[in-house]
Structure 1
Amino acid sequence: MEQVQRTSLADQAARLLFERIRSGEWQIGAKLPGETTLGPQLGVGRSTVREAIRQLAGRGVLQTRQGAGVFVTALDVRENWDVVLRQADIAAVIEGRIAIETEAAALAAQRRTATDLRSMRRALTRRVRGGQTTEECVDADMAMHRTVVAAAHNNVLLELFDGFAPRVRQAMIDMLNLLPARTPCDSDESGNDQEAHAALVQAIADRDSPTAAQLSRTHLTSLKAALA
C-alpha cells in the first residue's frame, strides 16, 4: 500500500524561502542574508539552509558566488523544456517554428555553402518519395527543414530546432491527421507544398535573405491558418 511521504526539512525550508522570494522580499540580483540569519528565520539549522539553497540553485532561482554570497537570479522556477513542449498546442508549436526557422532561413541565405545546398536539395527530393506514410513524410519534411537551419551555421538556432523537433514532429502528424483530405507532403492551402520548399531552397541558393525569410514565414503561417 502506498504511504504518505514525509517532506524533509530541507524541502520545507526551500519552499518557505521560495515563497519569500516570490513575494518580492528580495528582487533579482539581491543578496540573501547569511545562513546564521536565515536559519532562525526558517526554524532550521545551517546545514538545512545550505541544502535548501542548493535546491533552489538547481532550479535556477538562486546562485552561489564564491566569496560573495547567495544571490537571487529568478523570481520563479523555470519550467522543464520537455514539459513545456508536451503541453503546447499545435498552433503554439508552429509559432515557435516561425520564430526559429524564419531567422535561420535568412542567415542560411547569407552563410550557406555548396555542401549545405547539396544537403538541402537531397532532402527536398526525399520529401516527395512515393508511398510514404504520414509519419515517414513528416520525418522527411523535418529533415529538409533541419538542413536549412544547419545552413545558418548558428549553433544556438540548431540546438533550439533539435530540442523542438520531437514535439514539432508530433504536432505535424496531429495536424495532418486533422486534414485528411490532403496528402502528407501537400498540406498547405494551395496544394503546392513541394513548390514552396523548392522556392525556399532557391532563395537560399541565390543568397536572397529577405525572400528566404518571407518564404519560410509564409509557408509556416499557412500551416497555422489551416488549423482554423
Structure 2
Amino acid sequence: MPLGAVRPSPLVEQATERLREQITGGHWPLGTRLPGETTLAKELGVGRSTVREALRALAGAGLVQPRQGAGVFVVATEPVEDWPTRLRRAAVTDVYEVRMALEVHAAHLAATRRTDDDVAVLRAALAERRAASARDDAAFVDADIALHRAVVAAAHNPLLADLFDEFAPTLREGLLDMLDLVRVRDQDPNTGDDTHAALVDAVAGGDPEAATAALRGELEHTSKLLREGEDAAGAE
C-alpha cells in the first residue's frame, strides 16, 4: 500500500509513525530491507534528514537495524516497550511483588547505612504521614510513599532510589484505587501506623532484621488489600 505524504508538522514523529505502521502491519515483513532514504523521503514527502531521524527512532524501538553497506532491515514487528511503559501496563499486584523485593532489600541496607540526617528525615516523614491521616486519601498516600522513599534513600544506593521512583506513579494509582474500594481508612484513618513506626525505629536503631520484618509485613498486608480491591472491582 502507498505510504502517502505526511502533514507539515511534526514531520519526524509523523514519518516515524507511518513507517512503524508499515512494519507492524506486515507490509515489510521480518528480514525485509527497507527502501532507501531517497525513496522513503519521496513517498513521505519529506527530506532525507527527516527519514534518517525516523529510522533512528525505529531502531531505538527495536524494529529496524542498519547494516553497514547493506541498508536498514526489519528485525522485529512489535516495538520493545521501555520500562515506564511496561510499568503503566502492569497489574498493580505484580508491581507490588517486585516492589517488595526492592524495598525489603533497601530496608536492610538502610538499617546498616543510615546517617543521623537520614534518621531525621525518616522521623519527619513518619510525622507527616500521621498528620496526613486527617486529610484525604491522596494526601495520605503521598505521605506514605514519601516515607517509603525516605527508607530507600537511606540505603544510599542511587539505582534503588531510581527504581523506586519509577514504581511510584503506578503505586500511587493502585493505592488510591485500593483505598476507594476497600475503605480501610473509614475505621482507621492512620492505617498501618504501627508497622511504619516499627520500620522507622528499626532503621534508626540499626537493626536490619527488624527493619526487613516490619517492611515485609506491611507490604504483604497492603498487597492483600490490593488483591481484595481488584476482586471487588471485578465483582462490580
Q: TM-score, normalised by structure 2?
A: 0.68
Structure 1 counterpart of 2:208? 209
1:75-129 CA-partner distances (Å, limit 9, x unpaired): 9632143432333333123223212211111111121100000000111111111
Equivalences, count:
198
Give the CA deviation at 1:45.
2.3
Structure 2 counterpart of 1:185? 190
Q: Letter of the aligned partner of 2:190 in structure 1?
A: C
The yes-or-no answer on 1:20 pairing with 2:20 is no
Rounded Cα–Cα distance in structure 2 between residues aligned with 1:164 and 1:140? 15
The yes-or-no answer on 1:167 pairing with 2:170 is yes
* Structure 1 segments unaligned to the other structure (5+ residues): 22-37, 187-192
Structure 1 counterpart of 2:222? 223
Does the 8 Å CA contact 1:116/1:147 hold for their aligned counterparts?
Answer: yes
Does the 8 Å CA contact 1:104/1:149 hold for their aligned counterparts?
Answer: yes
Structure 1 counterpart of 2:43? none
Rounded Cα–Cα distance in structure 2 between residues aligned with 1:113 and 1:74? 48
Does the 8 Å CA contact 1:200/1:212 hold for their aligned counterparts?
Answer: yes
Where in structure 2 are the equivalents of 1:119-198 lying within 5 Å?
A: 119-129=121-131, 131-182=134-185, 183-186=188-191, 193-198=192-197
RMSD of aligned alpha carbons: 3.5
Does the 8 Å CA contact 1:93/1:171 hold for their aligned counterparts?
Answer: no
Q: TM-score, normalised by structure 1?
A: 0.70
Distance 1:125 1:19, change over 3 A: farther
Give the CA deviation at 1:10.
5.0
Does the 8 Å CA contact 1:203/1:209 hold for their aligned counterparts?
Answer: yes
**Sequence identity (%):** 40
Structure 1 counterpart of 2:118? 116
Q: Letter of the aligned partner of 2:139 in structure 1?
A: E
The yes-or-no answer on 1:77 pairing with 2:79 is yes
